[in-house]
Amino acid sequence: KIRGGYDYALLLFYQNLELSKQLDDTQEESVALSNIGVAYYNLKDYKKGIQYFIEANKVDALADHRSALLFANISLCYAFLNDLCNARVYIDESIRFCKGDCPIGVRTNIEYTLGLIAKIEKDYAVAERHFLSSYSLALASHQTRFQFDNIYLLTELFIEQKRFSTAVGYGLRRN
C-alpha cells in the first residue's frame, strides 16, 4: 500500500480524469492531471509528476487557460531531479506569466522553488533569502505545509553551512 493514502487519492484522480474526458470538460481534466502530478510529487516520483503537470499544461494551452502555479510545480519537480536548467526555464515562465501580480500561494511556491535551486547550487545567501520569503508568505496565508517545508530546508541549509545553533533553534524561534 502506498503511504499517506495516495493510492486511494490517485484512484479517485484517475476516475475524475476519465470522467472529465468523457464530458469534454478541459478545465476539470486539467485539474485532475494537476492533482495526479501533485500526488506523484508527494510520493517523490518527480518524473511522473512532471509528466502529468506537462499534460495539464497542454490541456490548459488548448483552452487558453494557463497557470503560473503549474509552471512552478514543473520547476519544483525538475529542481528535485537536479535538472536545474529545466527548473529555471519553468520558474522563469511562472514568474513571467504572473506579470508581477501572482496570488500569494503561487508566490510562496515560486520563492520556495527559487530557494531550492539556489540551495542546490550552494548559493546559500540567495537560498536563505528565498526560503525566508516563502516562509513569510506561507505564514501570512496560513499554508502550513509550506511553513514546514521552508523550516526543513532552512535547517538543512544551516547544517550544510555548519551553522548548527541556528539550525537547532530555527523552528522554535520562528513559530
81-135 pLDDT, tens digit per residue, is 999 999 999 999 999 988 888 899 999 999 999 999 999 999 999 999 999 999 9
Question: 169 pLDDT exceeds 80?
Answer: no
pTM value surpassing 0.75: yes
What is the Cβ-side half-sphere exposure of residue 37, based on CA atoms within 13 angstroms?
Answer: 25
Q: What is the pLDDT of residue 175?
A: 46
Contacts of 173 (CB under 8 A, 6+ apart): none
Distance CA 171, CA 152 (A): 8
Contact 90, 80 (CB under 8 A): no
Distance CA 53, CA 116 (A): 19
The 8-class DSSP code of residue 63 comes to T
Closest CA to 115 of 99, 102, 100, 132: 132
Model confidence pLDDT, tens digit, residues 5-61: 888 999 999 999 999 999 999 999 999 999 999 999 999 999 999 999 999 999 988
Contact 68, 106 (CB under 8 A): yes
* Cell numbers linked to 27: 478545465
